[in-house]
Amino acid sequence: MQNSYEVEHRLGYRVLRWVLAVALISGVTVSTVQVILDAGRVSQSLDDQAQQTMALVKDASTQAVFSIDADLAQQVVDGLFAQEAMRVARITHPDGEPLGSRDRPLKESASRRITDPIFESERYYRKELSRGTGTGNVYGYLELKYDTGPAARTWLERASITLPPASLLPSFSEWCCLWFSIYC
> How far apart, in whole angstroms, are the C-alpha atoms of residue 91 and residue 75?
11
Average pLDDT, the chain: 83
Residue 178: pLDDT over 50: yes
- Burial call 111-141: b when 16+ CB within 10 Å, e when fewer: ebeebbeebebbbebebebbeeeeeeeebbb
User: Which helix or strand (DSSP H or E) is residue 141 part of?
Assistant: strand 140-147
Please name the helix (run of DSSP H) or strand (run of DSSP E) that holds residue 125, with its range, or none: strand 122-129
What is the pTM (predicted TM-score) of this model?
0.74
Per residue in 39-61, pLDDT (tens digit) is 999 999 999 999 999 999 999 99
Cα separation, 63 vs 131, in Å, equals: 9
